């Protein structure tokens, strides 16, 4: 592969992984380290060469200087970070670096966070299991000792109650097991409703123990998110645990969703061609407001802010955005995440 260009720039003497693009966005030259990445990620076998269509499309969809994360659609378990810069009037420079280990480290941090959240919820979940278990034990004992005295309708009613209680226990345990199982980094399209049904079901023991209330008001329940569903779920679990950990009393939490407004003034790390949805968690609590302004309020606040930091990192890894703002009544957390296009959501 070529290591020099007509301008006289000697790419072989540059240590950074930089590729040179012509006016047609083809790679015409590359430094040795960039050449190694081009080979590893199977971008080309010889130069000049066009970049893969998906990579070219993603680079063209973001402003110059904005990095993208690209995963090749091959069996290669690797992730490439790319940033495009202008070179002259028509050419460009492509700065590349492999970020596989950073992505794996994020997955490991998410897994640790899930295990910590599981331990936090396990004790609270005992109450949710104890109630249906008591109902099952009572009904079975009644059927065993007084079966001959019970009418057929009473027997059917007791069996139905026992079945409902057993199903509740099954769902509670399955929810916890599904949560702790991180799974592969697959991309799927869970709906907003599915995501928040699972999150609220999982955190129900915590809400009940603290007297907290969670209300969900989605603008369109058919909207489907794009990304690893367990990562998406973890973001909202961490945010809800973050707010409840900082609460001094019962919280009134409201989750709303909407399209990202055209007047959006926050950061836009996503691509212009992406479809995005804005999810907002509003929480009325003075403690949360103070902690947002001062994240050094002791060990409990430090732990809660670690949850917040991991949630923010996960949102960014999905190509989205997360911001926390203090409000007059408490705090508001805004999450912007990518959504599936029509053909993805129906697959």
CATH code of the domain containing 124: 3.30.565.10
- Do 93 and 62 fall into the same domain? yes
- Do 70 and 205 fall into the same domain? no
Average pLDDT, the chain: 76
- Do 92 and 108 fall into the same domain? no
Note the pLDDT of residue 124: 58
- Do 274 and 320 fall into the same domain? yes
5 pLDDT band (50/70/90 cuts)?
very low
157 pLDDT band (50/70/90 cuts)?
confident
Check if the beta carbon of residue 227 is closer than 8 Å to that of residue 187.
yes
- Do 91 and 173 fall into the same domain? no
Question: Which whole number is the average pLDDT over 158-171?
Answer: 79
Max Cα separation, the chain? 100
Q: What is the pLDDT of residues 276-293, one digit of tens each?
A: 899 999 987 644 444 444
- Do 119 and 87 fall into the same domain? no
Rounded to the nearest 5 percent, the helix, strand and coil shares of the chain are 50, 20, 30
Asked which of 29-43, 104-118, 166-180, 299-313 is least confident by mean pLDDT, the reply is 299-313
Q: How many domains does the chain have?
A: 2
Q: What percent of the chain has pLDDT over 70?
A: 71
Note the pLDDT of residue 288: 44
Question: Which whole number is the average pLDDT over 247-253?
Answer: 85
Residue numbers of the domain that contains 325: 103-345
Q: Please report which residue ranges of the chain form alpha helices under DSSP H.
A: 32-40, 53-60, 100-146, 152-180, 192-210, 229-245, 286-293, 298-317, 342-345
Is 262 part of a structural domain of the chain? yes
217 pLDDT band (50/70/90 cuts)?
very high
């Amino acid at each position: 592969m070529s290591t020099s260009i007509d301008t006289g720039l000697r790419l072989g003497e540059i240590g950074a992984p930089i590729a040179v693009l012509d006016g047609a966005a083809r790679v015409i030259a590359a430094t040795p380290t960039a050449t190694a990445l081009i080979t590893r990620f199977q971008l080309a076998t010889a130069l000049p060469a066009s970049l893969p269509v998906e990579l070219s499309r993603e680079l063209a969809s973001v402003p110059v200087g904005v990095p993208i994360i690209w995963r090749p659609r091959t069996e290669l378990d690797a992730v490439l970070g790319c940033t495009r810069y202008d070179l002259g009037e028509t050419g460009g420079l492509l700065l590349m670096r492999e970020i596989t280990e950073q992505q794996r480290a994020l997955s490991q941090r998410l897994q640790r966070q899930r295990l910590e959240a599981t331990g936090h919820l396990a004790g609270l979940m005992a109450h949710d299991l104890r109630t249906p278990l008591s109902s099952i034990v009572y009904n079975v004992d009644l059927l065993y000792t007084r079966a001959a005295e019970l009418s057929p309708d009473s027997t059917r009613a007791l069996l139905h109650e026992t079945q409902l209680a057993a199903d509740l226990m099954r769902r509670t345990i399955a929810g916890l097991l599904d949560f702790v199982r991180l799974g592969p980094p697959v991309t799927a399209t869970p709906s907003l409703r599915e995501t928040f049904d699972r999150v609220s079901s999982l955190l129900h023991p915590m809400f009940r123990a603290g007297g907290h209330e969670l209300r969900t008001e989605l603008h369109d329940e058919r909207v489907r998110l794009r990304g690893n569903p367990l990562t998406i779920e973890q973001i909202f679990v961490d945010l809800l645990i973050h707010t409840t950990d900082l609460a001094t009393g019962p919280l009134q939490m409201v989750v709303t969703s909407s399209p990202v407004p055209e007047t959006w003034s926050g950061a836009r790390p996503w691509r212009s061609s992406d479809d995005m949805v804005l999810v907002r968690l509003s929480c009325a609590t003075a403690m949360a407001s103070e902690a947002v302004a001062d994240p050094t309020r002791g060990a409990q606040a430090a732990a809660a802010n670690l949850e917040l930091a991991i949630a923010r990192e996960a949102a960014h890894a999905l190509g989205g955005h997360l911001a926390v703002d203090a409000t007059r009544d408490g705090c508001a957390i805004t999450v912007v995440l990518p959504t599936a296009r029509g053909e993805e959501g129906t697959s």
